[in-house]
Structure 1
Amino acid sequence: MTDSAIALGALAAQLLARAGEASSGRATQAIPAAPSGGVLTTVALALIAGQQLSEHENPGEAFLHVIRGRVRLTAGDEAWELGEGDLVAIPQRRHGVVALADSVALLTIAKATS
């Protein structure tokens, strides 16, 4: 949890710089809503063009909000191309993300509690 607002433009620039230096071509920063972790978290994710998050399970309800660049979200036979300002609910099944340009997105997750 943060006690002040987060400047997303500055965060995006920092993460893209880190991603550009990383062998994986990606960088992340978690932003929990509660200091103890809770169920709601936003992860800022930077991907250099051509890099991806391989297909994986959905950990709970989630949104993907692109704040810089362009990405493709895939889930089975479905795909969504998203640009700056676009927001999509992530399907409740296996999915993956690929950067079509140097990109930063906010992944907001409400972890499933059972």
Structure 2
Amino acid sequence: MTKLSISALARELLHAAAEADGGRAAETVFGGHEKSLRQTVVGMIKGTNLGEHDNQDDVTVYVIQGRVRLRVGDDSWKARTGSLLIVPHARHSIEALEDSAILISVAKRPYPPGQFIA
């Protein structure tokens, strides 16, 4: 078993993000491309974005610290410390409204949303 402090990692990544050119820093804490579940902590300085990208998997974003905005087309949702966003299967982006740390959980789908294997 492995145990780690997500809060401590979030603080470290926010510090690293403040010194990074892009204003972001991330570390995968579980999984990766070879697993069906991947969890990544991301530190983001106010005003930085995780640029618009498609989502075919099951994804949640937990706000460890700060405030963020999830945008999907013309819709947007704000979330703050302790909030969990369930990301739609659609093109989306995430913006840091203040210095923030988030935990992104991605569960790979064996097939595209709306399709079922018979």
Superposition TM-score, scaled by structure 2 size? 0.88
Distance (whole Å) between structure 2 residues aligned to residue 53 and residue 23 of structure 1: 14
Distance (whole Å) between structure 1 residues aligned to residue 34 and residue 29 of structure 2: 9
What SS does the corresponding residue of 2:82 show, helix, strand or coil? coil
1:113 maps onto 2:116 in alignment: no
C-alpha displacement of 1:38: 1.2
Letter in 2 for 1:69: G
Q: Is the 8 A contact 2:47 2:96 kept in 1?
A: yes
Query: 1:1-114, aligned counterparts within 5 Å?
Result: 3-33=1-31, 37-114=34-111
Q: What whole-Å deviation, never above 9, does each CA across 1:28-61 have from its counterpart, x for those lacking one? A: 1012248x83110101011100000111011411
Moved beyond 6 Å, runs of 4+: none
Distance (whole Å) between structure 1 residues aligned to residue 9 and residue 16 of structure 2: 11
C-alpha displacement of 1:93: 0.3
Q: What whole-Å deviation, never above 9, does each CA across 1:83-106 have from its counterpart, x for those lacking one? A: 000001101000000000000000
Distance (whole Å) between structure 2 residues aligned to residue 43 and residue 33 of structure 1: 9
- The number of residues matched between the two structures is 111
Inter-CA distance 43–59: structure 2 relative to 1 (3 Å threshold): farther
Gaps of 5+ in 1: none
The CA RMSD over aligned residues, in Å, is 1.5
C-alpha displacement of 1:6: 1.5
C-alpha displacement of 1:9: 1.5
Q: What whole-Å deviation, never above 9, does each CA across 1:52-89 have from its counterpart, x for those lacking one? A: 01110114110000000000000012111000000011
Partner of 2:114: none
